[in-house]
């Protein structure tokens, strides 16, 4: 009887102190912190604190979503997925804030995707699926750290692309060659077409994959360039 009473007291303490929620918060901090640390080291805008807060907040909302409809002695009332569903939608606003577009080049997509998946890990943690949450955390870290190196190598691989550059009249072929050459791109073939209001350069370029985006961004910012199209 004494042992049973002690068990009952421990259950009441755990219920009152919400020790299960404390475990969820701890797992959320560890999961969000692990991914956030990788992002912080990589110098990304959404770093350690951002990912921890997103993961903890999602876990808390998932726990709230599960328990908010509970009534003592009457079980669960309502749909526990409603609050969690709003997290999936709402996290897009934070993710959109990390995406930037300038000169035809888009950056921040990986950071936005990381924020989205960290929110998903938080929801998984808040629902009490710790093994799944930690497994997803390990997978995300492997993708960010391991495949990041592979992606960097792929960007250094040489590729060939067709490019059309529309300029103001009078822009010379030598000027175009010089600008592209400064970015490490070599012109394989070039055709030039003159019109009354512009000059068109149709080219085949060869060079490191990452340099094409750099060259595009620099060209479109020049006052003599009207449009740049990469096929």
Structure tokens that stand for 63 in this block: 């726990």
Asked if residue 148 and residue 162 are part of one domain, the reply reads no
Asked if residue 119 and residue 13 are part of one domain, the reply reads yes
Q: Are strands 186-194 and 158-167 parallel, antiparallel or unpaired?
A: unpaired
Asked if residue 163 and residue 211 are part of one domain, the reply reads yes
100: β partners: 107
- Could you report the per-residue pLDDT of 8-66, keeping only the tens digit for each? 665 655 555 667 888 899 999 999 999 988 888 877 777 888 899 999 999 998 888 88
pLDDT at 7 over 70: no
CATH number at residue 224: 3.30.70.60
Asked if residue 149 and residue 164 are part of one domain, the reply reads no
Q: What is the mean pLDDT of the chain?
A: 81
**Domain limit, last residue, from 105, 134, 153:** 153
Q: Report the alpha-carbon distance of residue 211 to residue 106 in Å, rounded.
A: 14
- Could you report the per-residue pLDDT of 62-86, keeping only the tens digit for each? 888 887 765 444 555 667 777 778 8
Q: Could you list the residue range(s) of the whole structural domain that residue 180 is in?
A: 157-230
Asked if residue 97 and residue 181 are part of one domain, the reply reads no
Asked if residue 138 and residue 171 are part of one domain, the reply reads no
CA–chain centroid gap for 11, Å, is 41
162 CB-side CA count, 13 A: 3
Give the pLDDT confidence score for residue 168 in this predicted structure. 92
Q: How many other CB atoms are found less than 10 A from the CB of residue 117? A: 21
Phi, psi of 144 (to 5 degrees): -70, -45
Total tally of structural domains belonging to the chain: 2
Q: Report the alpha-carbon distance of residue 119 to residue 51 in Å, rounded.
A: 8
Maximum distance among all Cα pairs of the chain, rounded to whole angstroms: 99
Asked if residue 134 and residue 118 are part of one domain, the reply reads yes
Asked if residue 202 and residue 169 are part of one domain, the reply reads yes
Give the pLDDT confidence score for residue 18 in this predicted structure. 66
pLDDT at 157 over 70: yes
pTM here is 0.62
């Amino acid at each position: 009887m004494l042992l049973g009473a002690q068990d009952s007291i421990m259950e009441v303490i755990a219920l009152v102190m919400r020790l299960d929620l404390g475990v969820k918060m701890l797992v959320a901090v560890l999961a969000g912190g692990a991914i956030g640390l990788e992002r912080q080291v990589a110098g990304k805008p959404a770093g350690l604190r951002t990912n921890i807060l997103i993961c903890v907040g999602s876990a808390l909302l998932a726990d709230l979503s599960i328990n908010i409809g509970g009534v003592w002695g009457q079980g669960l009332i309502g749909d526990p997925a409603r609050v969690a569903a709003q997290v999936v939608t709402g996290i897009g606003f934070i993710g959109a804030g990390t995406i930037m577009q300038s000169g035809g080049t888009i950056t921040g997509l990986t950071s936005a995707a990381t924020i989205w998946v960290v929110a998903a890990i938080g929801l998984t943690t808040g629902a009490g699926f710790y093994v799944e949450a930690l497994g997803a955390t390990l997978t995300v870290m492997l993708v960010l750290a391991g495949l990041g190196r592979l992606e960097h190598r792929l960007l250094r691989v040489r590729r060939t692309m067709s490019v059309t550059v529309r300029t103001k009249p009078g822009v010379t072929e030598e000027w175009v060659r010089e600008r592209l050459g400064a970015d490490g791109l070599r012109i394989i073939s070039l055709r030039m077409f003159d019109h009354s209001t512009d000059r068109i350069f149709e080219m085949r370029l060869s060079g490191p994959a990452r340099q094409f985006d750099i060259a595009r961004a620099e060209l479109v910012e020049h006052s003599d360039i009207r449009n740049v199209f990469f096929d």
